[in-house]
Structure formats: structure tokens, C-alpha cells
A and B are shown apart, each in its own frame.
Chain A
Amino acid sequence: MRTQLPLTSYAKGHLAGTRAAAAPLRLRAEEILSSGGDVVLNFRGVEATQSFIDELIGYLILSQGPSVLERIVFRHCSENLRAIIEYVAADRCDQYLKRPTHH
């Protein structure tokens, strides 16, 4: 099962900005993931800050491990957004894997 989450309602204008705004979206994503579904994040018409993306997926990588990324789809990302998502994913996977206790 894939559940689509549109980002537009988390943005002001075209930008999803604060961690505070990302946290409820992450909770929704966590619910879907814990019931065995995949999450499709639909970014059509939306850009985001690195903090917003980190609160959303950086947090999930640190709490569940890099394999969580296999169950998240990023749809309709602009070039800038793609760069931010790739950066956050790389940095947090690296941090997770370097933790002494990640197993």
C-alpha cells in the first residue's frame, strides 16, 4: 500500500519552512510506515528548507535506520529540493552508521 501525502498544506506560499511545521507530517508518515505501508511525499508546487526536510526524513533515518528510505518516495521535486533531500539523507545515514550502537 502506498499512501500519498501532499506537502502543500505544510507550506506557506511555496515554502515548507520550520521544523515545527514538519513534525506533524512526520508523525503521519510514521503511522503509515508502522502499519506496513509506503509513504509518497508529493512536493508538487512546494520547496522546503533543509531543516524541514531533516525534521521529516533525517529524524526517521536516525530513529529507524537508513532502510526506512526504501519505503519513502519523493515525488515532483525541483532540482533545489532534490539537492537538499540528497544532502540530508547522506548526512544522516552517515551519522547513523557511525554510531557505536546502531545495530
Chain B
Amino acid sequence: MAITIILPKYFSATSAGNAVRVCKKILDAEEDITLDASNLVYADPLGITLLGAALHDAFSWNLRVRISGLGEDVGGYLQRMDVFHGVDFVKCEPVKKRRRNRGDSLVELTRVDEVSDVDETAHRLAVAIVGRFPGIDPDEPPDEMSGYTVFDRLVEPIQYSLCELLENALTHARRGSHGSAFVWVAGQYYRSSKIVRLGVTDNGCGFLASLKGHPELRRKRHLDAILTALKPRVSCNRDLGIHDDSVNQGVGLTTVMRIAKHTGGRAVILSGNALHDTDGRSGSTPAGSIWQGVAVALEFRRDQLARTNFRELLPLVEGIPRIPLRFE
């Protein structure tokens, strides 16, 4: 026996609630799954990472997954993004486009399992994305003053954001009974709108479980937990304990959101039954649909990326005397 799950028209950050609803059905499935993709026309990196994480769960229960009715365009795209690894195709239009070479395949869906892989993955992904910007030459001579090329400056904020989000997912998300949580990442550059989109999704404990003991979290609800995590200097681990060898500052996620905003982009965060969109649309996912973990969609405007200015981005530290530091 198999159950049929109908994929929505859009599997993306702008309709993240629908994507979570469908993923929840995949996660709850106890028998083989047929995904009906006849309505599906568009998926973005957030949708791809959510689907990748949900399919991973189905495969871990040894369920068989088939997909039917996949159109040529979206089907070709999703196959190139490596979303349907292990999925059987039935009644799908044949995909004519050839696979891309490995050189740019790194924007494809990637699962990261170890913190020690984060730096390398974040760098490779950021380089692959910026490598798709037309007119940018990675081999141009660097600026004499700074030592950096334009390419380097475009890579940095993307790599920075990926490092912070991936390390969060492989540390905080693994607390409690979620020690074996993973994180999935995908990215794409949209040439016509000149926008970079990233999706980073984990299947860990979620914001609420991570911050439930924090005094700033007054109402124990998923949306409050997301909004609390976004406040600067809020962390589940801000102080050194006597035997502790790990500490956090509570600023990473805040800064990543500000980098995206600073470029004129936006962010969408999902966790539990809550969804926060920096463009103002925040609230609950559709009834009964829950994401166990954290999913973040980031959008950067390419034209503003190289101008990231951290003095403007970092939170203010008010009323604190300037600390003398030895810069040379």
C-alpha cells in the first residue's frame, strides 16, 4: 500500500506554510509514498531543503518514495538540485537538459553532518553561487589597499551567513534527544532579479526547546521563541560554566538577518508551528503543520552584497566605556 501526497503549486519561502504542511505528511507517513507533482511549478532553496529533510526521514524508515506527474522544467531543476536522490519516477516528463558539471553542482542540496565540515561547505557554496554572477572574474587582480577582489567581497557575506546558520544547526539544534539532527542547505542565484536565495533547514530541537529556560522568553510559544532568538545577546549558552568549554554570544543569527536586510533582502524563519517573515508576515503555519527543527530562508540583493558594513550592522552596546584595544 502507498499513500498519495499532493505537492502544492509553490514549494518556496513565500508559501512556506504549505511546504511545511506537505512535509509533515511525509514525516508522518507509515507506508510507501507517492508524491503527486502534477500541480508543482516552482521550488526555491528553502522548499528544496525542507523536502530533502522530509525525504531523508522517509528513507530512514525504509519507505519507498515515488514521484509522479513531474513537469519537465521543474523536474529538471529539482533533479539538478539533487532533491530526488533515491526517489522512483513514474509518469514524469523526461528531462532533456543535461546535468551540470560538478563545478557548479555545489549549490545543489547538501546535507552537513559535522561541525568540522561547516567552514569548507560554506566557502564552497558561497564561491559556487558568486561564480554564477555574470561579469565577475574570480581571477582579477586584488585591490591594492585591501588585498581583496570584488569576487572575495561578494563571497564573504554569503559564506559568513552560512557559517553562522550551519554551526547553529549542528550545535544548538542537537540538544536534548536531538543529538543526531542534520542540516540541509541549498542556494541559487536568480539572474533576472539579481537575487541570491539560500535555504538552511535542520531537523533538531527547534527554538522553543533551545530557549525554553531563557528569562527573555515570557510565553512558551514557537513564535515568541523565534522572536526572542532574534534579539541580540539572547543565547541558550551565554555564560561560561565552571566546567564548560563552550560559550555563545547570542549575536550570530541577529547579524545574519541584518546582513540580508542590509542588502535589501529578507528572511523567513520557520520553527514548530510558527513562521516569521522579516517583511512583516508572521504567525502560525496552517493548522496541524509543524516543522520539528528550524528552517531559514535568506534573500540577498546582489548589488548591495559587497557593501556589507559591520559597524552599522552590529547591535549597539550602550553605556559601555570603550575598551582600549591594541590594533597595529
Binding site for B on A (CB under 8 A): 12-15, 17-21, 40, 44-45, 47, 49-51, 54-55, 58-59, 62-63, 66, 69-70, 72-95
A13 contacts B240, C-beta separation under 8 Å: no
Which of chain B's residues have a CB closer than 8 A to the CB of A92?
A: 249
Q: Is A83 a contact partner of B311 (Cβ separation < 8 A)?
A: yes
A78 lies within 8 A of B146 (CB): yes
Q: Which residues of B contact A79 (CB under 8 A)?
A: 309-311
Report the Cα distance A82→B323, complex, angstroms: 12
Closest to B249 in A: A54
Q: B19-27, B114-122, B217-225: which one contacts chain A?
A: B114-122
Decide if A87 touches B240 in the complex (CB within 8 Å).
Answer: no
Q: Are B120 and A87 in contact (CB under 8 A)?
A: no
Q: Contact: A51 with B320, CB < 8 Å?
A: no
Closest to A73 in B: B326
> 5 closest A-B pairs (Cβ-Cβ)?
A17-B163, A12-B123, A83-B311, A80-B310, A83-B310
Inter-chain contact B155/A13, CB cutoff 8 Å? yes
A14 adjacent to B156 (CB under 8 Å): yes
Question: Known: A15-B163, A94-B317. Is A73-B310 also a contact (CB below 8 A)?
Answer: no
Would you call B327 and A58 a contact (CB within 8 A)? Answer: no
Once A and B bind, how many residue pairs between them come within 8 Å at the CB atom?
145
Which of B163, B320, B323 meets A18, CB within 8 Å?
B163
Residues in B whose Cβ lies below 8 Å from that of A91: 233, 249, 251, 317, 320
A65 to chain B minimum Cβ distance, whole angstroms, is: 12
Note all chain B residues with C-beta closer than 8 A to A12: 119-120, 122-123, 159
Instruction: Say yes or no for B136: interface residue by CB 8 A criterion.
Output: no
Sample 16 A-B pairs with CB under 8 A, ordered by A number. A12-B122, A12-B123, A15-B122, A17-B119, A18-B163, A20-B115, A44-B147, A45-B147, A49-B163, A51-B248, A51-B251, A66-B323, A69-B325, A87-B315, A89-B325, A90-B322
Collect the chain B residues with CB atoms within 8 Å of residue A14's CB. 148, 152, 155-156
Contact of B123 among A15, A47, A85 (CB under 8 A): A15
Complex CA gap A55/B146 in Å reads: 25
Residues of B within 8 A of A89 (CB): 323, 325
Q: Which residues of B contact A44 (CB under 8 A)?
A: 147
Cβ-defined contact, A84 with B310, below 8 A? yes
The 8 Å CB contact of B152, one of A13, A76, A86, is A13
Minimum C-beta distance from A62 to chain B (A):
5
Residue on B nearest A80 in the bound complex, by CB? B310
